[in-house]
Amino acid sequence: MSTTVSKHQNFVGGEWVDATGGETMEVLNPATGETIAEVPRSSAEDVDRAVQAAKKALPEWLETTPGERAEILLKLADALDQHGDEIAELESQNVGKPLSYAKDEIPVAVDNIRFFAGAARLLEGKSAGEYMRGYSSWLRREPIGIVGGIAPWNYPLMMAVWKLAPALAAGNVQVLKPSEQTPLTTLRFAQLAADILPAGVLNVVTGDGVPAGEAIVKHPDVRLVSLTGDVETGKIIARTAADTLKRVHLELGGKAPVIVFDDADPEAVAAGIKIGGFWNSGQDCTAASRVVAGPKTSRWTISSSWPTSTTTVGLTKKPRLPFDSPPVRTVAFLARSRKPSTRSCWDFEITGPISISSPSAGSPTCSDSTAGTSSSSNRS
């Protein structure tokens, strides 16, 4: 059955525009491998066009009161809420995650916008005072200006909202680049925002990290860059941002531990590890990638208590089953589990998307300064 390929444009200055060079890139449904959309392959010139649109919108947006910004954000939240089912369907299709998971994320995104709508009215500075004779001192909080946002592929719209809502609430304007793999819900959100936000307050450009993301970080008029991504990308952004003294907000990957105390129930531990490690197919910056365990747990084995029978791979619209979306990119998490640990832990092996086995039964293979090891076959 053929799939209809939708065509999309960048959202710049309240208008929908192609990339200046006319180039496009394909967007895939990772569950099927089919091309489902084409979006602009933006260049540094496209980013500059978006920044100039934001710069033009900034003076008027700076004049809005907290109450006015709060009212606009509440309208954005209502629009997202009203189109939640449609957007969840699109997220599921573009990301390849279960539809039920995508639907769970919409209320979180809506609530986040409403939270910052309220926070817009609570901006405050330190108390004024006379700390030198003849002088009064006070702290005044003012918007930074143009904020660049670079969102990830695992929670595309939710992470985009987490960037734009606080920026707009504080009186800033936004240039946002979604992941080149998963831009569709952010573009759909921009369509909703076009009827609510003044032109240029929110701008969305699609494209690769280089050159589009890099251009956001390097642009001298962008005063803060917020990234949700991997550690190496964060390091590059921090170094690059230093050249123009930009502020950075970096939400990067982790090596999150599951801490197991001596009196823990093995069955509960197994269930917790499964949820912590494989929620959203393990594609989560806080996904559990190691176990830090007390000395009395050394007799446990993962194979004796791991409920693998409910770990199911399937298409995204099947009835909700635990972890029914196969991993897309989990190698980074697995690689981090190889790094040294100074505490007791278990060694376990991931031999495929969901098949899990332990080493020899009853024999913990990791203690003190020895690192656990993991390996995986990555789905293409």
The catalytic residues are: 251, 285
Tally of CA atoms within 13 A in the half-sphere of 77 that contains its CB: 22
| Cα–Cα dist 106/98, whole Å | 13
Task: Outline where 141-265 has alpha helix (H).
Answer: 156-169, 184-193, 214-218, 231-242
Nearest Cα to 158, choosing from 86, 233, 104?
104
Q: Specify which residues 226 forms β-bridges with.
A: 149, 249
How far from 160 is each of 150, 177, 204, CA to CA, in Å?
A: 8, 9, 10
In this structure, what are the phi and psi dihedrals at residue 295, rounded to the nearest 5 degrees?
Answer: -65, -25
Chain length of the chain: 380
| Cα–Cα dist 8/102, whole Å | 22
| Cα–Cα dist 34/276, whole Å | 30
Give the chain's end-to-end CA distance (angstroms, integer). 21
Sign of the dihedral through C-alpha 82, 85, 90, 94: positive
Rg (CA), the chain: 23
Alpha-carbon 142 to chain mean position: 26
